[in-house]
Amino acid sequence: MHHLRDVDGGGPFASPTATVAEAEEAMVDRRLGALPVVDEHGDALGVLARSCLSGRSS
């Protein structure tokens, strides 16, 4: 089994404990449309899409 931590170059990943604001800021800063969410073992939990965040209530 491969883990995201095994991918060369690492990359921007969000922790499941990151806030929505932190994840959104990371995507804006890096000009990403999505951010993988990984656990402490490097296993993928899902993907947070920036398009799903736009228009969210504050």
* pLDDT at residue number 2: 45
Which among 45, 46, 34, 42 has a CA at the least distance from the CA of 1? 42
> Which pLDDT does position 40 carry in this prediction?
85
Look at residue 56 in the predicted model and tell me its pLDDT: 57
Please report, in tens digits, the pLDDT of each residue of the chain (58 residues total).
445 454 444 578 888 888 888 888 888 888 999 989 888 888 889 998 988 876 554 4
- Rounded-to-integer distance, Cα 37 and Cα 57, Å: 22
- What pTM does this model have? 0.66
CA dist., res. 43 & res. 37, Å (int): 9
